[in-house]
Amino acid sequence: MKILADQNMPLVEQYFADLGQVERFDGRALQSDQLVDVDVLLTRSVTQVNETLLSKANKLKFVGTATIGVDHIDTDLLTQRGIAFTSAPGCNAIAVAEYVLSSIFALAQENASTVLGKTIGIVGVGSIGSCLREKLAALDVNVLLCDPPKHEAGLLPEHCDFDELLAQSDIVTFHVPLIKTGKHTTLHLLDKARLLSLKSGTTLINASRGDVIDNQALLEVMQAGAKLDLVIDVWENEPFILSELLDYVRLSSVHIAGHTLEGKARGTQMLYQTLCQIEGLTADKSLADFLPKPCITQVSLEDTFTLADLGQLLHLVYDVRRDDGIMRRHLAQHGFDSLRKNYPIRREFSTVSIAGSGHYAALLAALGFNILDNGQTGDC
């Protein structure tokens, strides 16, 4: 088979080389000519898989996107042409949830406040929203959930109306797909009217799709003096973002909330497993075969550790302020896509084992850390 894969997708050669010839492509620059005689197309969110792109795809039998969202894929077209398709739901849920945790604890540190006791509204309770919900449940916070489709399907009885969630929440974090038509559109879900309704001091986090928040309206509201703490990972019109908005954002990044090494690699693995199933092959490769050992594998906590120190522990593994600094210092010179392509390695909380966690063991385990038994040590 001839396998065409996005240049930013990790471990493709390791997983797929035994199945065929692997070639890489620039996700935003892929052209229809490149799909001639291609059997397998492996993409990420920046590639629009539509009729124009597939016009010369004479042998294509499988398309996989190593992302949760599929708004960049014309799935109806793939069905019509008999092309198998899969996405990677949940592959980066842990990574995005940890991005949110890193962000809210970073802001708490800088604002000399606390996360504990806050009301946090999660908009979109799919794989990512559910993962974040489980982690926040370990903390002393009040969590509100908004997901109208799930509520209508009877899957979210504790659903909170979106405008009510905005009114009550200290922190609002978005984890919805981009839906442009129908009953539950998310395009400009947070428009100017709703932005103006937010109470002073509200933290807004968008790690879903840039178009969920009207960026121009957000700029205008902030220029008019709104007191909002903004954490923006996804932007309208990427890679040509509204750069003026950056001056009003507390924590910024280049659409990398889900880009842990584990999260990206899980996406590749999920596509590999599906293709093997379709081809009747045994999927005998796993992440453990390829992921490098992290530089920090074990942390020992003293009896003096308290919840006030939790942010320091989280940031030891991942501090979102690193990514904010990279974007602010290098965006103008290198551009949005280059910063994404060259994103530094980031690991997940699960790569770190905690010794001496005491009565915080359950909380730290819920957040994703590996908890060592008393007297146990990791193989550092």
Least confident stretch, 38-47, 63-72, 179-188, 244-253? 63-72
pLDDT at residue 251 tops 90: yes
Final residue of a domain: which of 87, 111, 135?
A: 87
pLDDT for the residue numbered 2: 98
State pLDDT tens for residues 84-108.
999 999 999 999 999 999 999 999 9
38 Cβ contact partners less than 8 Å away, ≥ 6 residues apart? 2, 3, 4, 57, 59, 60
| Residues 79 and 100 both lie in one domain | no
pLDDT for the residue numbered 374: 60
| Residues 141 and 231 both lie in one domain | yes
Question: What is the pTM assigned to this prediction?
Answer: 0.90
State pLDDT tens for residues 113-150.
999 999 999 999 999 999 999 999 999 999 999 999 99
Instruction: Report the pLDDT averaged over residues 65-89.
Output: 94
**Catalytic residue list contains 28:** no
Q: How many domains does the chain have?
A: 3
Residue range of the domain that includes 347: 298-371
CATH number at residue 162: 3.40.50.720
Task: Give a yes or no: residue 257 inside a domain.
Answer: no
pLDDT for the residue numbered 377: 46
pLDDT at residue 376 tops 80: no
Final residue of a domain: which of 72, 87, 102?
A: 87
pLDDT for the residue numbered 69: 83
Mean pLDDT of the chain: 95
CATH number at residue 328: 3.30.1370.170
pLDDT at residue 258 tops 90: yes
Task: Name the more confident of 92 and 376.
Answer: 92
Instruction: Report the pLDDT averaged over residues 196-215.
Output: 98
pLDDT at residue 325 tops 60: yes
pLDDT at residue 379 tops 50: no
Helix (H), strand (E), coil (C) string for the chain: CEEEEECCCCCHHHHHCCCCEEEEECCCCCCHHHHCCCCEEEECCCCCECCCHHHHCCCCCEEEECCCCCCCECHHHHHHCCCEEECCCCCCHHHHHHHHHHHHHHHHHHCCCCCCCCEEEEECCCHHHHHHHHHHCCCCCEEEEECHHHHHCCCCCCECCHHHHHHHCCEEEECCCCCCCCCCCCCCCECHHHHHHCCCCCEEEECCCHHHECHHHHHHHHHCCCCCEEEECCCCCCCCCCHHHHHHCCEECCCCCCCCHHHHHHHHHHHHHHHHHHHCCCCCCCHHHCCCCCCCCEEECCCCCCHHHHHHHHHHHCCHHHHHHHHHHHHHHHCHHHHHHCCCCCCCHHHCEEECCHHHHHHHHHHCCEECCCCCCCCC
Instruction: Report the pLDDT averaged over residues 363-373.
Output: 95
Task: Give a yes or no: residue 279 inside a domain.
Answer: no
Task: Give a yes or no: residue 291 inside a domain.
Answer: no
Final residue of a domain: which of 198, 231, 252?
A: 252
pLDDT at residue 359 tops 90: no
pLDDT at residue 378 tops 50: no
pLDDT for the residue numbered 288: 86
pLDDT for the residue numbered 380: 26
Task: Give a yes or no: residue 15 inside a domain.
Answer: yes
| Residues 248 and 100 both lie in one domain | yes
Instruction: Report the pLDDT averaged over residues 344-364.
Output: 95
pLDDT for the residue numbered 73: 96
Task: Give a yes or no: residue 152 inside a domain.
Answer: yes
- Catalytic entry in 98, 236, 238, 262: 238
Residue 49 and residue 71 in contact, taking contact as beta carbons nearer than 8 Å? no
- Catalytic entry in 44, 159, 175, 209: 209
Task: Give a yes or no: residue 124 inside a domain.
Answer: yes
Instruction: Report the pLDDT averaged over residues 35-54.
Output: 96
- Catalytic entry in 44, 255, 259, 346: 255
| Residues 104 and 245 both lie in one domain | yes
**Catalytic residue list contains 238:** yes
| Residues 129 and 247 both lie in one domain | yes
Task: Give a yes or no: residue 341 inside a domain.
Answer: yes
Instruction: Report the pLDDT averaged over residues 138-164.
Output: 97
pLDDT at residue 280 tops 90: yes
Task: Name the more confident of 380 and 261.
Answer: 261
